[in-house]
Structure 1
Amino acid sequence: MTGKCFYRWISTRAVEFGEKLKHLDDGNDDQLKEFKRSCDALKDCTRTLGHCEAMQNEETKKGFASMNTICTIIEFVATEFKSCDAKLDETKSTCYKDWNPFQTEIDLTEKSDITEVCSNFFGTDNCLKKDVTGACGVNEWEKLKDRLLSLNDRVKKCNFEGIV
């Protein structure tokens, strides 16, 4: 694959990924397995084609990094965090329901001033710690916090003193 053809192929894969994500029911194990296959294919693609010219484009790099982050978050919530996810759903936590780690990840990547992003990294006014700790315990909070903090280097610029 060369030139425009390769760019079109990458764009098509990205659109397909977005469509799968948009229609993903995280309570449906079959859909989660299919989504995981897409994520595995994404990782293979990045590993195999990462040296190609089209993959050196900054927007392409950001796009693939965002898709990888989405995969990591969904896989974590669907496996390691599954029981806590269910407990938070039962408590009808508005903090957890309204929290959007995907938008946060995009904002961390795209915004030059990340002060507001940092203040809402763990939900509005960082409300997740209280809700997760209350519903699931400190260990589950630590797992979630550690996973989220490991996903983006820019988050290291945030001041989470008193929160984490």
Structure 2
Amino acid sequence: MLLPILFFLLIGEVVSKSCIDSNRPKVIKCLETFQKVAEAAGDYDLTNATTTKSTNEVCGKFKRCSPAFACETEQKIVYALNMTLLFCDAAGFFTNEFLPCQIKLDSKTTECSRAWNPFPAQIEDKKKMAEIQKEACNNYFGKDNCMREEIIRVCGAKQWNGFRKHHLALNTIIGACHFKDE
């Protein structure tokens, strides 16, 4: 995933920045937490309670320490921090607020939810992969936006809005689809 790469980029940039000198001990500690988030993101599995719990815990620590970087203006660092916070927000939403809805959706599996796959597994044939990804992006929320209808019907509009927001955030992190309104 992108977060482990962002970690090394962030480490190299942060240690030389003067605006964080007064917060250096907090920043170093937060960088260690950032590394743990990057590791957790690589192992993150929404269906595994062990990884979701540990990811949420380390994300909580990162969210609490990230204000130590408030003075930062270096684009690479700001980008890495923002992507990490987006990931943590999405992980928290899907494993906490959305979980009761997910359980309901799983108990009523439909053709829409079975076929839905916005982030298909990579294959070696780049041309074929580009076609598969294009199709996935064209149906990002299912054929004819069917996931929207399904989530609203089963869980309500508030859950749909959160689901949409956080899935679009995951797409921003992964960069799989390029939408006009992003």
The two structures have a TM-score, normalised by structure 1, of: 0.57
The offset of 1:74, in angstroms, is 1.3
Q: How many percent of aligned residue pairs carry the same amino acid? A: 22
The offset of 1:76, in angstroms, is 1.0
Check the 8 A contact 1:84/1:135 in 2, yes or no: yes
**1:140 corresponds to which of 151, 156, 159:** 159
Distance 1:131 1:99 in 2: 16
1:18-97 correspondence runs (5 A): 18-51=38-71, 55-90=72-107, 91=109, 93-94=113-114, 96=116
Check the 8 A contact 1:119/1:125 in 2, yes or no: no
Closer/same/farther in 2, CA of residues 99 and 135 from structure 1, 3 Å limit: farther
Check the 8 A contact 1:122/1:129 in 2, yes or no: yes
Name whichever of 9-18 and 127-136 sits farther off: 9-18
Check the 8 A contact 1:99/1:124 in 2, yes or no: no
Check the 8 A contact 1:26/1:78 in 2, yes or no: yes
RMSD: 4.2
Q: How many residues align?
A: 137
Closer/same/farther in 2, CA of residues 45 and 83 from structure 1, 3 Å limit: same
The two structures have a TM-score, normalised by structure 2, of: 0.53
Instruction: Establish whether residue 99 from structure 1 lines up as the match of residue 118 from structure 2.
Output: yes
The offset of 1:89, in angstroms, is 3.2
Which consecutive unaligned segments of at least 5 residues does structure 1 have? 101-117, 160-164
Distance 1:64 1:49 in 2: 9
CA offsets, 1:78-121, max 9 Å, x none? Answer: 1111122123334161455x135xxxxxxxxxxxxxxxxx9666
Check the 8 A contact 2:33/2:58 in 1, yes or no: no
Computing the radius of gyration over CA atoms, which structure comes out larger, 1 or 2? 2
Aligned with 1:25: secondary structure? coil
Closer/same/farther in 2, CA of residues 63 and 123 from structure 1, 3 Å limit: farther
Closer/same/farther in 2, CA of residues 64 and 122 from structure 1, 3 Å limit: farther
The offset of 1:12, in angstroms, is 6.5
Name the counterpart of 1:158: 181
Aligned with 1:70: secondary structure? helix
Closer/same/farther in 2, CA of residues 3 and 29 from structure 1, 3 Å limit: same
Closer/same/farther in 2, CA of residues 57 and 94 from structure 1, 3 Å limit: farther
Distance 2:152 2:34 in 1: 36
